[in-house]
């Protein structure tokens, strides 16, 4: 940390470009000059083209997304953009769990309990599935890798699902080494075993999911039987608008259940007599799910995933039979094109086995004390930040993808890049880039992003060091490290204060920068200072921010809705106070009404990756290896820290992991320089031969550039030589607009002469 905080290359003053863009000629300016320039330039663009013509980018610079929201909406732009193609990190999984069960759920490692593992309310999971994550070498995001180690020491058995043999995989009871991006098929195969062998929790499925509901879909409407409306033994129907996913007609006389049964069985087809004299047949949701998973026998799934069928069966049985069980998953689920149906299928594993909202299972993770650091929440200044409806309609992609309207209000990254060049329906003239090294870390097809930045009238970058992206900016602002700022953290854990402990002259926190500019653009901002804003946000906890900083963190009492367990039975999850889950129907939605309303298949399904041995065999002939990237480093964070001496000593070179047998066939030795190439481009890496990788795959760590090389254009710190993102296209997203083929591109490898 001392090398990081006090590094000689660290930005210490705002820098204004004085040469050509990318020429690396700058002059130092004061913060007042920088703020004044930003205000003038962005207001000028707004006056000529509208606020929607400025994009506000962020990525995984932690503790940025909360505060850039204030700035974006204070300026008036609807286009807050997560810089990764298809928002392929965290958002896809959270969207699915929100649609299916009303809230995100995470592995219960006793993180909400003051006494942790010794709390009498806690039960250690008997089985933990670690799916698509290497916790020992990844960003914590509030879930710490040692928790799984702690639980294993206390008796938890592990099932690890990963194409690489990770540290946890080597210590697992079962390791499933699947073909990259076939996670959805594997989950459907496990559902097949659990349903066929009746290993699901029948009582939970009947009482708390929409499995017994009757469904009939046609091109005009979706009939969904709901037990929320009853009249004696008759079941009434809600008519759901298939475009919005919400109840358009609430008419008890619209239809009635026939024949009369108080509780239909999980499986079956029933005749529904409509009031217009017609009749139709409806199947239960459970019947539809059974029909869907019937196509995914262990034998078929073994062919798709490369996982032996016996291992698929053993994993499904062990997970379903050992209560409580839990699943911990990672961003690799987000980084595939079929992220939505894959996450849907995985979510149903814990839902149909009843491993939800109970000790040692997947627990609903509500904000502690209902404190959410995203200041756009209704109870924290929303009225002053709300955008007019006509502006909201201009959010890029909101007309095409339902989640961008109803779940997380971001512009669609891939469509944003496309619009920069087409300028339809309106031009893009400015970029605010905060904690996002697009050219070296987050941007797929980075040369296209390079050309996009060249088109801009005005670009501001906020970062700690100059990097390939900030080199193309007009103004660069020096950010603070986490040691130099006050802030909040609420993700999956008790309410935490981030406390400032040091000061580095002339560097400002992301929070401070965004807040200062938000005040300039929005006179109606309800807070006069950061402390006042923090006090407002933490108010539901009964403390001031200063009081929270003194104690560091606070766990909600067991009577609070943000404290587990069994809240669905107590009416603590739904906004109306009724029992159940915070979904449109009040139940866990195996058949998702949200998805149906967005024009997405309401049941989980599997689809081959866009480029694969099966889907594109002609491409596979020329590019016979499956390339994965996005793996986290145990010493770096994404594209950061390559200039830190001790970290660079541990991991000095950009590598590619290759199986020794594969390397031998290619004439590649350990330490050789090799080219990784496909039809989109190539990058150079140093070969690292390791048996932890599958012989038909390679792993290319992302985020590489060389701070020691020339920074000016065209070098841009040597980024074009090593950037693996040059081999990954934009625009290959799933039906919900999420996901990208980051984990499953095809390529070839050969020695670099």
Give the model confidence (pLDDT) of 83-99 as tens digits: 999 999 999 999 999 99
In the three-class reduction of DSSP (H, G, I as helix; E, B as strand; rest coil), residue 116 is classed as helix
How far lies 460's CA from each of 430, 434, 475, in Å? 8, 8, 5
Q: How far apart are CA 119 and CA 109, in angstroms?
A: 11
In the three-class reduction of DSSP (H, G, I as helix; E, B as strand; rest coil), residue 619 is classed as helix
Q: Check residue 389 and give its pLDDT.
A: 87
Q: Cβ(531)–Cβ(88) under 8 Å?
A: no
Cis preceding-peptide flag for 259 (omega within 30 of 0)? yes
Average pLDDT (380-385) is 64
Average pLDDT of the chain to the nearest whole number: 90
If you write DSSP's letter for every residue of 474-529 in order, what string do you get? SEEEEBPPGGG--EEE-SSSSEEEE------TT-B-HHHHHHHHHHHH-TT-S-SS
Which of 632, 691, 635, 634 lies closest to 659 in space, CA to CA?
691
Which of 640, 726, 632, 745 lies closest to 684 in space, CA to CA?
726
Exposure class string for 400-421: b at 16+ Cβ within 10 A, else e: ebbbbbbbbbbbbbbbbbbbbe
Predicted confidence (pLDDT) at residue 216 exceeds the cutoff of 90: no
Q: How far apart are CA 279 and CA 557, in angstroms?
A: 52
| Half-sphere exposure of residue 185: CA atoms within 13 angstroms, side-chain side | 22
Average pLDDT (127-139) is 89
In 137-215, where does DSSP find H-type helix? 145-153, 183-196, 202-208
Predicted confidence (pLDDT) at residue 374 exceeds the cutoff of 90: no
Predicted confidence (pLDDT) at residue 141 exceeds the cutoff of 90: no
Q: How far apart are CA 511 and CA 70, in angstroms?
A: 9
pLDDT band at residue 415 using 50, 70 and 90 as cut-offs? very high
Q: Cβ(486)–Cβ(499) under 8 Å?
A: yes
Beta bridge partners of 47: none
With tokens 């040469």, the residue in question is: 19
Q: Encode pLDDT of 218-261 as tens digits.
A: 544 445 544 333 333 334 444 333 344 433 322 333 333 332 23
Q: Cβ(472)–Cβ(21) under 8 Å?
A: yes
Q: Encode pLDDT of 172-212 as tens digits.
A: 999 999 999 999 999 999 999 999 999 999 999 999 998 88
- Using a cut of 0.75, tell me whether the model's pTM lies above it: yes
What does the block give as tokens for 8? 């000689």
Which of 48, 55, 60, 71 lies closest to 397 in space, CA to CA?
55
Where along the chain do the CATH 3.40.50.740 domains lie?
A: 2-89+369-554
Q: How far apart are CA 172 and CA 127, in angstroms?
A: 10
Average pLDDT (401-410) is 90
Q: Check residue 145 and give its pLDDT.
A: 85
Class of domain 617-751: mainly beta
Predicted confidence (pLDDT) at residue 567 exceeds the cutoff of 50: yes
Q: How far apart are CA 98 and CA 86, in angstroms?
A: 18
Higher pLDDT: 137 or 420? It is 420
Q: Check residue 212 and give its pLDDT.
A: 83
Domain 117-203+293-367 carries which CATH code? 3.40.228.10
Q: Check residue 736 and give its pLDDT.
A: 97
Q: Cβ(498)–Cβ(63) under 8 Å?
A: yes
Higher pLDDT: 713 or 63? It is 713
Which of 237-246, 325-334, 571-580 is most confident?
A: 325-334
Q: Check residue 252 and give its pLDDT.
A: 31
Q: Check residue 493 and give its pLDDT.
A: 80
Q: Encode pLDDT of 712-744 as tens digits.
A: 999 999 999 999 999 999 999 999 999 999 999
Which of 331, 370, 1 lies closest to 141 in space, CA to CA?
331
- Give the strand pairing for 458-463 and 673-678: unpaired
Q: Check residue 63 and give its pLDDT.
A: 84
Please state, for a pLDDT cut of 90, what percent of the chain lies above it: 80
| Half-sphere exposure of residue 56: CA atoms within 13 angstroms, side-chain side | 25
Exposed/middle/buried for 127, CB within 10 Å: 0-12, 13-18, 19+? buried
Higher pLDDT: 254 or 345? It is 345
Where along the chain do the CATH 2.40.40.20 domains lie?
A: 617-751
What does the block give as tokens for 151? 């639980």
Predicted confidence (pLDDT) at residue 378 exceeds the cutoff of 90: no
Q: Check residue 275 and give its pLDDT.
A: 47
Contacts of 691 (CB under 8 A, 6+ apart): 165, 659, 660
With tokens 């005009």, the residue in question is: 220
What kind of architecture, by CATH, is found in domain 2-89+369-554?
Answer: 3-Layer(aba) Sandwich (3.40)
If you write DSSP's letter for every residue of 705-746 in order, what string do you get? --TTS--STTTTTTHHHH-GGGGS-S----TTS---GGG-EE
Tell me which DSSP letter residue 90 carries.
S
**In this structure, is the dihedral angle defined by the CA atoms of residues 164, 168, 171 and 177, taken in order, positive or negative?**
negative
Higher pLDDT: 594 or 622? It is 622
Where along the chain do the CATH 3.40.228.10 domains lie?
A: 117-203+293-367
- Give the strand pairing for 430-434 and 54-58: parallel
Exposed/middle/buried for 259, CB within 10 Å: 0-12, 13-18, 19+? exposed
Q: Check residue 409 and give its pLDDT.
A: 87
Average pLDDT (294-308) is 98
pLDDT band at residue 279 using 50, 70 and 90 as cut-offs? low
Q: How far apart are CA 252 and CA 230, in angstroms?
A: 8
pLDDT band at residue 143 using 50, 70 and 90 as cut-offs? confident
Q: Check residue 234 and give its pLDDT.
A: 39
In 175-220, where does DSSP find H-type helix? 183-196, 202-208
Least confidently predicted of 25-34, 136-145, 433-442, 627-636: 136-145
Q: Check residue 274 and give its pLDDT.
A: 53
Which of 290, 269, 374 lies closest to 58 in space, CA to CA?
374
In the three-class reduction of DSSP (H, G, I as helix; E, B as strand; rest coil), residue 697 is classed as strand
- Distance between terminal CA atoms of the chain? 38
Q: Check residue 82 and give its pLDDT.
A: 95
| Half-sphere exposure of residue 414: CA atoms within 13 angstroms, side-chain side | 22
Q: How far apart are CA 113 and CA 570, in angstroms?
A: 19
In the three-class reduction of DSSP (H, G, I as helix; E, B as strand; rest coil), residue 48 is classed as helix
Average pLDDT (652-668) is 98
Average pLDDT (326-352) is 97
Predicted confidence (pLDDT) at residue 548 exceeds the cutoff of 60: yes
Q: Check residue 261 and give its pLDDT.
A: 34
Average pLDDT (453-469) is 98
Higher pLDDT: 37 or 61? It is 37
Exposed/middle/buried for 162, CB within 10 Å: 0-12, 13-18, 19+? buried
Q: Check residue 257 and give its pLDDT.
A: 31
Which of 140-144, 237-241, 408-412 is most confident?
A: 408-412
pLDDT band at residue 308 using 50, 70 and 90 as cut-offs? very high
Q: Encode pLDDT of 693-710 as tens digits.
A: 999 999 999 999 999 999
């Amino acid at each position: 940390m001392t090398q990081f905080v006090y590094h000689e290359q660290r930005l210490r003053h705002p820098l204004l470009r004085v040469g050509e863009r990318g020429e690396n000629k700058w002059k130092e300016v004061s913060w007042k000059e920088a703020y004044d320039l930003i205000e003038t330039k962005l207001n000028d663009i707004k006056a000529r083209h509208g606020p929607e013509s400025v994009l506000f980018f962020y990525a995984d610079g932690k503790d940025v997304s909360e505060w850039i929201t204030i700035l974006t909406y204070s300026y008036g732009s609807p286009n807050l953009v997560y810089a990764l193609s298809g928002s392929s990190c965290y958002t896809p999984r959270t969207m699915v769990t929100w649609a299916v069960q009303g809230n995100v759920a995470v592995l219960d490692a006793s993180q909400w309990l003051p006494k942790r593992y010794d709390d009498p309310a806690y039960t250690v999971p008997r089985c933990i599935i670690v799916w698509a994550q290497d916790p020992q070498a990844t960003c914590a995001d509030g879930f710490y890798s040692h928790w799984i180690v702690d639980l294993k020491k206390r008796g938890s058995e592990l099932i690890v699902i990963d194409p690489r043999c990770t540290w946890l995989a080597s210590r697992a009871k079962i390791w499933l080494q699947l073909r990259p991006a076939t996670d959805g098929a594997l989950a459907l195969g496990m559902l097949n075993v659990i349903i066929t062998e009746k290993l699901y929790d029948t009582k939970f499925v009947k009482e708390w999911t929409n499995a017994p509901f009757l469904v009939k879909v046609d091109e005009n409407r979706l009939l969904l039987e709901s037990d929320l409306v009853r009249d004696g033994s008759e079941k009434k129907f809600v008519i759901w608008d298939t475009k919005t996913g919400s109840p358009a007609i609430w008419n008890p006389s619209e239809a009635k259940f026939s024949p009369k049964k108080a509780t239909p069985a999980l499986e079956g087809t029933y005749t529904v007599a409509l009031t217009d004299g017609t009749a139709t047949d409806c199947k239960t949701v459970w019947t539809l799910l059974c029909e869907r998973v019937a196509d995914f026998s262990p034998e078929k799934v073994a062919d798709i995933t490369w996982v032996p069928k016996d291992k698929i069966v053993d994993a499904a049985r062990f997970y379903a039979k050992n209560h409580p069980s839990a699943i911990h998953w990672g961003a690799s689920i987000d980084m595939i094109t079929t992220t939505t149906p894959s996450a849907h299928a995985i979510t149903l594993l814990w839902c149909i086995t009843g491993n939800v909202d109970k000790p040692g299972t997947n627990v609903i993770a509500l904000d502690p004390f209902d404190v959410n650091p995203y200041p756009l929440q209704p109870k924290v200044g929303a009225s002053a930040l709300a955008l007019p409806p006509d502006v909201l309609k201009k959010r890029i992609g909101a007309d095409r993808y339902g989640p961008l309207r109803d779940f997380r209000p971001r512009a669609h990254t891939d469509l944003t890049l496309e619009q920069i060049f087409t300028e339809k329906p309106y031009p893009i003239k400015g970029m605010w880039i905060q904690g996002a090294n697009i050219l070296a870390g987050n941007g797929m097809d980075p040369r296209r992003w390079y050309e996009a930045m060249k088109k801009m009238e005005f670009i501001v970058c906020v970062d700690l060091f100059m990097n390939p992206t900030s080199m193309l900016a007009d103004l660069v602002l020096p950010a603070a490290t986490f040691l130099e700022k006050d802030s909040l953290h609420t993700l999956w854990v008790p309410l935490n204060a981030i406390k400032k402990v040091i000061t580095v002259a002339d560097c400002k926190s992301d929070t401070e920068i965004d807040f200062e500019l938000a005040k300039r653009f929005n006179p109606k901002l309800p807070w006069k200072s950061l402390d006042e804003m923090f006090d407002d946000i933490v108010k539901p906890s009964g403390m001031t921010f200063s009081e929270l900083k003194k104690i560091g963190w606070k766990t909600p009492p067991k009577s609070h809705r943000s404290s587990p367990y069994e809240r669905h039975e107590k009416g603590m999850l739904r906004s109306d106070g009724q029992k159940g889950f915070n979904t449109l129907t009040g139940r866990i939605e195996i058949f998702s009404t949200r998805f149906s309303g967005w024009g997405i298949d309401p049941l989980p399904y599997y689809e081959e990756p866009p480029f694969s041995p099966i889907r594109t065999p002609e491409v596979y002939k020329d590019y016979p290896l499956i390339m994965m990237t996005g793996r986290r480093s145990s010493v770096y964070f994404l594209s950061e820290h390559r200039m830190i001496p001790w970290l660079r000593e541990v991991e000095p070179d950009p590598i590619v992991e290759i199986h020794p047998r594969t390397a031998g066939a290619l004439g590649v030795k350990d330490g050789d320089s090799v080219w990784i190439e496909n039809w989109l481009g190539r990058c150079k890496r140093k070969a690292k031969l390791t048996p932890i990788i599958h012989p038909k795959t390679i792993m290319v760590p992302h985020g590489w550039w060389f701070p020691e090389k020339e920074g000016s254009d065209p070098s841009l710190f040597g980024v074009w030589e090593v950037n693996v993102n040059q081999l990954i296209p934009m625009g290959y997203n799933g039906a919900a607009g999420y996901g990208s083929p980051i984990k499953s591109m095809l390529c070839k490898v050969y020695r670099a002469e």
